């Protein structure tokens, strides 16, 4: 009796409606899983004003921290904590916090608007900022069950008050004149002072690189700085009517600040008057000498 040989039977699902449906369902499920993963990875996000935000000393500042799109939030599910890290110190401290029925300002006047928080705005308001408050600020926002945070650097600066004047010549050194450029109450310490001039003959700015000295900065009790720069002039007829300029460059200034002083022409007039007086004194002597000469 011959043995029957059983052959493996291959079932083909190509073109089968059942197989096509199963593959479509599988791909859809996979796509949903990937999409959920992407959404969870992105999660809650906050936007800051930038990596660095500048404020002038004693001014009020609002450090931005917002959820994109201004969503409407249930404030019962929202919490916010602001941290500050001084630029001279690595330790971090709380500045403000709110969650549930708890609200606390660790820095006097620090505040986050609760009405703004309902629309996703967790920005921190600080009144009358001091130099010691410069540094890194961190916004940690919780919208249950998600959390997001952002950081920004707060830079505090102070504009220099500038005074430019001509120092009267001393009795011992009446041949020299000194133009003084004084700067008061600026911050940070780094500052650049340049000198230049415009003459009556040449209206082009000419930088002066000799005869000027900028003294070391002096620190004030409030942390700001003062500095004095002096330009020494050897007087000449060309100096009279010349405009001298003190140019100040500082972090707090968007453009260099320029202060001018023009030397009066009084000195030149005195010279001309002296020459005229001397000529008038010579006239009688010349007349007498002319009369004494035999004709």
pLDDT digit string, tens, across residues 223-280: 999 999 999 987 665 567 789 999 999 999 999 999 999 887 554 343 333 333 433 4
Q: Is residue 21 part of a domain?
A: no
- The CATH code of the domain that includes 96 is 2.60.40.10
Do both 86 and 181 map to the same domain?
A: no
Residue 162: both structure tokens together: 């500038």
Strands 135-143 and 146-157: antiparallel
Do both 190 and 95 map to the same domain?
A: no
Q: How many structural domains are present in the chain?
A: 2
Q: Is residue 196 part of a domain?
A: yes
Backbone φ and ψ for 230, nearest 5 degrees, come out as: -125, 130
Do both 130 and 167 map to the same domain?
A: no
Contact 141, 119 (CB under 8 A): no
Give the number of residues written for the chain. Answer: 295
Do both 190 and 255 map to the same domain?
A: yes
Q: Is residue 17 part of a domain?
A: no
Share of the chain above pLDDT 90, in %: 54
Question: Residue 149: what pLDDT?
Answer: 93
Question: Residue 44: what pLDDT?
Answer: 83
Of 123, 178, 134, 182, nearest to 157 by C-alpha is 134
d(CA 132, CA 151): 18
Question: Residue 8: what pLDDT?
Answer: 42
d(CA 74, CA 90): 35
Give the residues of the chain that fall short of pLDDT 50. 1-14, 18-19, 22, 26-41, 267-290, 292
Q: Is residue 293 part of a domain?
A: no
Q: Is residue 41 part of a domain?
A: no
State the residue range of the domain holding 226.
161-270
Do both 142 and 169 map to the same domain?
A: no
């Amino acid at each position: 009796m011959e043995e029957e040989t059983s052959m493996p039977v291959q079932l083909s699902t190509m073109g089968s409606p059942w197989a096509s449906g199963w593959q479509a369902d599988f791909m859809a499920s996979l796509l949903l899983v990937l999409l959920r993963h992407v959404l969870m990875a992105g999660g809650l996000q906050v936007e800051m004003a930038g990596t660095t935000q500048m404020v002038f000393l004693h001014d009020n500042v609002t450090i931005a921290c917002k959820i994109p799109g201004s969503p409407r939030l249930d404030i019962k599910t929202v919490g916010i904590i602001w941290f500050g890290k001084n630029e001279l110190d690595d330790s971090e401290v709380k500045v403000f916090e709110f969650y549930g029925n708890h609200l606390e300002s660790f820095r006097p006047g620090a505040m986050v608007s609760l009405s703004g928080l309902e629309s996703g705005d967790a920005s921190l308001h600080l009144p009358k900022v001091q130099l010691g408050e410069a540094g890194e600020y961190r916004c940690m926002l919780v919208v249950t069950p998600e959390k997001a945070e952002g950081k920004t650097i707060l830079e505090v600066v102070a504009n220099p008050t500038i005074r430019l004047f001509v120092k009267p010549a001393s009795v011992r050194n009446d041949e020299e004149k000194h133009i003084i450029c004084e700067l008061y109450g600026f911050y940070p310490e780094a500052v650049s002072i340049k000198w230049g001039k415009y003459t009556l003959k040449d209206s082009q700015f000419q930088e002066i690189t000799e005869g000027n000295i900028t003294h070391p900065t002096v620190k004030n009790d409030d942390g700001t700085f003062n500095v004095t720069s002096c330009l020494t002039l050897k007087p000449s007829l060309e100096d009279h009517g010349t405009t001298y300029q003190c140019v100040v460059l500082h972090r707090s200034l968007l453009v260099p600040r320029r202060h001018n002083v023009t030397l009066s022409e009084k000195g030149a007039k005195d010279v001309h008057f002296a020459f005229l007086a001397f000529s008038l004194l010579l006239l009688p002597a010349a007349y007498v000498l002319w009369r004494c000469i035999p004709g």
